[in-house]
Structure 1
Amino acid sequence: MRARRSGTLLAALAAAVLAAPLAAAPSTAAAEEADASDLTVTYVESARWNTGYTGEITVHNASDTPVSDWTVEFALPDGSRIHELWNASLAGTAEGYTITPPRWGATVPADGEYSFGFNGLHADGGTDPVGCLVNGSPCSGGEGPSHDSYSVAYFTQWGPRERDYHVRDLVDSGSAEKLTHVQYAFGNVSAEGECVMTDEEGQGDALADYGHPVPADQSVDGVADDPSQPLRGNFNQILELKEQYPELAVSISLGGWEWSRHFSDAALTAESREKLVSSCIDLYLRGDLPELNGAGGEGAAAGVFDGIDLDWEWPGSDGNPHNVVRPEDKENFTALVQEFRDQMDELGAEDDRHYELTAFLPAGGWRLDAGFELDELMPNFDFVTVQGYDYHGTWESVTNHQSNLVTDARDPEPVISAELIHQAYIDRGVDPAKLVLGIPFYGQGWTGVEPGPDGDGLFQPATGPAQGTHGTGTEDWKVLRGLTDEGYELYRNDEAGTAWLYDGRTLWTYDDETAVAQKTDWAQAQGMGGVMIWSIDGDDAEGSLMAAIDAALAD
Structure 2
Amino acid sequence: MLILRGKQTALIASLIAVLIFSTFPVADSTNVFAAGNQVSATTCQEPAWNASTVYHGGDRVSYNGKIYEAKWWTQGEQPDQSDQWGVWKFIGDCGGGVEDTEAPSAPGGLTVTGTTSSSISLSWNASTDNVGVSGYDVYRGTTLATSVTGTTAVVSRLASNTTYSFTVKAKDAAGNVSAASNQVSATTKPGNSNEITRRYVAYASTWNTSLYDLTPGNIPNYITNVNLAFARPDTTYQKGSYEFDQAVAGFEFVEGATTSNGQKKLTPQQAQDLRNHIAALKARGTEVWVSVGGWAYSQGSQWSNFNAQRVVDLALDLGASGIDIDWESSGSSCNKLEASQFQCTKDGEIAGIITSLYNEIHSRGVNLKISIAGWSTGAYYVKGTPFEEGKVQWGSPFGGTMYRVVKDHGDKIDFINLMSYDAGDYYDPREGYESYRAIYNGPINMGMEIAPEGSGGAILEVEAPPGTVYDAEMLTGQNNIASRYYNVETMVNYIKNKGRSYDGFMIWQLWKQRVHQPAPAGAATENSAGQYVCRNLPLAGDCNQTIPNLPKLTP
Structure 2 length normalisation: TM-score? 0.45
Q: Compare the two structures and name the one with the higher helix fraction.
A: 1
Larger radius of gyration: 2
Return the TM-score normalized by structure 1: 0.45
In proportion to residue count, which structure has more strand? 1
